[in-house]
Copies of this chain bind each other. A is one copy, B any other.
Amino acid sequence: MSTEMLPFDAAEALAAAALRASGARAEAAEQTASALARADLDGIASHGLSRVPAYAAQLRAGKVKGDAVPAVTRPADATVAVDAADGLAYPAIATGIAWAASLLGRAGVVAVGVRNSHHAGALGLFVEDLARDAGAFAIAFTNSPAGIAPPGSGTPLFGTNPVAFACPMAGRDPLVIDLSLSVVARGRIMIAAQKGEPIPEGWATDDRGNPTTDAKAALAGAMLPIGGAKGAALVLMVELLTAALTASHAGFEASSFFDDAGGPPRIGHLFLAIRPGAVAADTDVVAARVAAITGRMLAEPGVRLPGDRRLALRARNRAEGIVYPTALLAQLRTLAAGSGPG
């Protein structure tokens, strides 16, 4: 595969131009491009510029509204409700995060619901921002289009429903945890199906809920959650905290993030930020506790902190540039030139 190296700023600018040319208002295009380029910087290509062609197609089809402006209400002292209004997710999330940071000092805990939203990309970025910029312990949940079936069924009802967490660490980047609740990403099953290869047991079931190693049967079936019934319960918890609590579409109602078919996905996200010191008597002790816990982990040979590989990639990619498939960049340049499809 032919590749090209792009500095972060150039990647961000190219994505923004492609999204603007596809109908996104300027600020929404910039916020989206920034989140996607940051994901690429961290080596999370599945949530990076590779998403721009699909976003652009959905903007052109009106499945994502390019001129949507997030609408904020404040139903209670410590909460924020953001209506993404069928636009891209990132402007709505940025609005919610900024509100959370501004309320955190006084409230001590803030909850932000984002509804009628779209693909939130690498969820860890937002909790990392809350940890770094607002000094918060932050948790994020999002639902996503159906891929996982409830135990006892082969019918996918809920998404892989990612969970992200971050907390500040003295003298270094925040500790970030970012994971989906499926055993593997659907993309890995798709690749096996394309190659005609089997998949390991434990990844997926067929459409009757029976275990399968046939990748094509798995694509027609459901992905398995981590931890069996326990993971399935966590998937449901995230679905209720997002789809129900933010009054958005459930996984079984949400349209795909990948094509321009159907109406807007209208999924929901929930962000929780807690200020250290607000649930215990002493602020400084919290920082010391984080240092003691992570220090004890690192005293074990072979143990590392979650996210450390990502931070190493970030440093390297920032210095050397991000490697992109030439074909993807050509596609984005065509979009940016305004001569894309539609």
Contact = CB atoms under 8 A, between A and B. Distances in A.
A259 to B, nearest CB: 23
Given A137-B245, A179-B233, A272-B272, A279 B112 contact: yes
Interface stretch (A28-36, A86-94, A286-294, A316-324): A286-294
Nearest to A240: B167
A236 B177 contact: yes
A239 B155 contact: no
Nearest to A74: B108
B226 A303 contact: no
Contact of A78 (B77, B163, B241, B302): B77
Nearest to A272: B272
A236 B290 CA distance: 11
Interface string A290-307: 101100110011111010
A221 interface: no
Secondary structure at the A interface, as helix, strand, loop or mixed, is mixed
Copies of the polypeptide in the assembly: 2
A282 B79 CA distance: 14
A79 B109 contact: yes
Interface string A301-342: 111101000000000000000000000000000000000000
Contacts of A290: 240, 244
A237 interface: yes
Given A241-B137, A247-B285, A278 B75 contact: yes
A274 interface: yes
Interface in A48-86: 73, 75-81, 83
A-side interface size class: 35 or more
A142 interface: no
B76 A109 contact: yes
6 contacts: A75-B280, A152-B300, A163-B237, A226-B231, A239-B293, A270-B279
Per CB-CB distance, the 10 closest pairs between chain A and chain B, nearest first, are: A76-B108, A113-B279, A226-B227, A79-B108, A109-B111, A152-B302, A78-B78, A244-B289, A247-B280, A153-B300
Given A153-B300, A179-B230, A248-B289, 17 more contacts: A75-B108, A75-B279, A76-B106, A78-B78, A81-B280, A83-B281, A109-B272, A113-B279, A115-B281, A137-B241, A139-B241, A153-B301, A157-B297, A236-B297, A243-B293, A244-B293, A246-B280
